[in-house]
Structure 1
């Protein structure tokens, strides 16, 4: 009997039938998972938090991604910095994952002590010839866009983060997202591969049946790329949405609000992202059950409530910014079958809980949606591991962005020699 040989990852992905999903082993093999971490989470820009995670000097947020760990800290001059979470002595972790407040960063092993600017300030018993300036903490590339904290562990990070920054900075600017606080945050460990989590986020084929709370405010047609494959009722709904959306965007644009879709999802792009100002259903104010604002104190100095949803996707995050709050989620792969999803709800820094906003109203849509998505990802992951699974075709009208994500994934593997 011949010995079973695993196909190389690149062959598996690029060998998929066009317009269909990837084979199940891409979501479960340990070697694929390690490759994913190395390429997509250590060599690309990833979101690891928001500025409100470190609101004051000395505040620290530590995020572990695979074997790597990054310290995000706000220094005494209010700058946000990022460092490798590795002591320059013998490599001990300086801080455990999570948030804390420090005066200086002190290694728990031998008490080497670092200032918040990364410089080594104290290292006892190292002899008169020891040069502390050669042992500062190793910086990690960092970009803050709006409130989003992006890092890249690569020596030479992808330069096209500039396109994301150039696109998103003016869209986020009116909301003054750095003048916000975290009203609520949650963590879910989803029982599925990170790629399935992101694929699920890229389509709303499942929304009508799967997300009753979200569909009170979210319009499924907003993610439909074409009428191809739709029935007559679906085509009418898409036509009505496109007409109303054009009218709404014209109104926004007349007041200077950026609306148009920008897509950097395929081709040779390394920094994968999409943005658009989307309409909100109902009263059109916010992603809440009643579609009205959940926080009476609007973001920035806004006075208009019906500004829709400025959304942004990256390959490990999704963002929805409304006039009253922002909902920001990002993922970290833990194992081939486990993915951490962190979500943060941001409100104006001066908003008062119980006066300006109620936490339940603020969060109930996406608390429910995230839990529902976790269940859907879990059944997707389990089914994709069944020996009887054969990848089926994507819906051309509602799963186009899933197909683009898989195409981008395959392209990045090829770009890295896989």
Structure 2
């Protein structure tokens, strides 16, 4: 048996007794099949343990998942661990400075290898019986084995890993989505100029939201609730998702400032050769995404309380801080903001049907000096406040969908990205063999003209 045969993962294993992507209970197939477009999902999607188990296998197990920034593992032996439902994964930089990923499971009797969220190792040593693995995943030591023991058959089980513009993505599936190369090329074109491969982590904050992961993502995909984010509204125009036709009178002034700021920003982007046009395929491909460079309010430089840059040492040696923000959404669980002075990466990691870990990571130039070039509190203030506000909103949502009185309600036209996320999610479930004869291809959401 080759090492490749012995280490590659598969997504066909049952995740709970009676629940697997290839043989689903009728109630789950019916739940997916009867979803009504432009309405929120039925309660079991947010509360049922079997749906949660299916999400881990069929969504997180078959998609490219943002796991970490390369800056989190700058040196050989540096690692982070990621938890996705029952899976624990290791992301490590090997001795050749390549990023690798493995299941966090000893090949002897299955003990968990690394218990910490992050750290640095020379080798990966199991604390149970001392089986020892290199950071390339190869088994280097296993005491008292038989004469015919072949260590090459017992390396760590590999997980597909890709780095894109300084961001690390994992895929648990044996066969990865075929469209990722194309999406990765688009992301590289837009994000590459920020040179995150020469960045460092200035701060990272984990927040457990008391809700299903889909409620976290739905909340992220709309600004219908943004009146509840006063700190964020200092720099981000609160017209996200609106069109000139459905813009309420209270936001007319914001829209006019955005038009003026956009015209100025485009002149700067053109002069620097930075791509900025919106590109969006949220629910029309396997690797759904949206990316756009756009103006910021206030000083127009960063997501801070006044819109001014929070870091004196700019990323990539940009000649100006006034580059607005580059926003990126990736299905199923991540979103990003890239500015001239720093970047923020967010990932939503499902813990249980009603708990989600939201990890926020702030990246700055590798040579920026804390206390001289930036202050961590000023850098993180807006998103710390916004994340806590969002945690309150989604907890309310979880409590509501858990009530017997809950019925799916209609999305506003401003929530088109929520519809696109849910449509993508249902569409991915519908591609499972268990649905092949029951759910036809779903239609993408109809999006409005977002030109201001």
Normalized against structure 1, the TM-score is what? 0.94
1:302 aligns with 2:302: no
Partner residue in 1 for 2:359: 342
- More deviation in 165-174 or 291-300? 165-174
Q: Please point out which of 73, 84, 90 is paired with 2:109.
A: 90
DSSP 3-state at the match of 1:52: helix
Alignment of 1:33-44 (within 5 A): 33-44=52-63
> What is the CA distance between 1:232 and its match in structure 2?
4.8
Partner residue in 1 for 2:214: 195
Please give the per-residue CA displacement for 1:342-378, whole angstroms capped at 9, x wherever unaligned: 1111111111111000111100000001100000000
Q: Please point out which of 72, 85, 88 is paired with 2:91.
A: 72
Query: 2:267 & 2:32 partners in 1: Cα distance?
Result: 41
1:245 aligns with 2:262: yes
Query: 1:382 & 1:7 partners in 2: Cα distance?
Result: 26
> What is the CA distance between 1:21 and its match in structure 2?
0.9
1:134 aligns with 2:150: no
Q: Please point out which of 428, 434, 450 is paired with 1:412.
A: 428
> What is the CA distance between 1:236 and its match in structure 2?
7.1
Partner residue in 2 for 1:274: 290
Q: Please point out which of 179, 189, 209 is paired with 1:170.
A: 189
Query: 1:170 & 1:203 partners in 2: Cα distance?
Result: 25
Query: 2:316 & 2:326 partners in 1: Cα distance?
Result: 15
Q: Which runs of 5+ in 2 are unaligned?
A: 1-24, 436-452
Partner residue in 1 for 2:349: 332
Kindly tell me the number of residue pairs found equivalent between the two proteins. Answer: 409
Q: Please point out which of 75, 80, 96 is paired with 1:56.
A: 75
Query: 1:81 & 1:279 partners in 2: Cα distance?
Result: 36
Partner residue in 1 for 2:139: 120
> What is the CA distance between 1:231 and its match in structure 2?
3.9
- In structure 2, the CA distance between the partners of 1:360 and 1:217, relative to structure 1 (3 Å rule), is same
DSSP 3-state at the match of 1:143: strand
- Contact 2:198/2:366, CA 8 A, preserved across alignment: yes
Query: 2:288 & 2:192 partners in 1: Cα distance?
Result: 21
Q: Please point out which of 198, 205, 215 is paired with 1:186.
A: 205
1:387 aligns with 2:404: yes
- Contact 1:10/1:410, CA 8 A, preserved across alignment: no
Partner residue in 1 for 2:302: 286
Please give the per-residue CA displacement for 1:177-218, whole angstroms capped at 9, x wherever unaligned: 01111111111110111000000000001112x100000000
1:369 aligns with 2:386: yes
Partner residue in 2 for 1:3: none
> What is the CA distance between 1:11 and its match in structure 2?
2.9
1:217 aligns with 2:232: no
> What is the CA distance between 1:25 and its match in structure 2?
2.1
DSSP 3-state at the match of 2:59: helix
Alignment of 1:253-268 (within 5 A): 253-267=270-284
CA RMSD of aligned residues (A): 1.8
DSSP 3-state at the match of 1:16: coil
- More deviation in 384-393 or 287-296? 384-393
Query: 1:58 & 1:18 partners in 2: Cα distance?
Result: 47
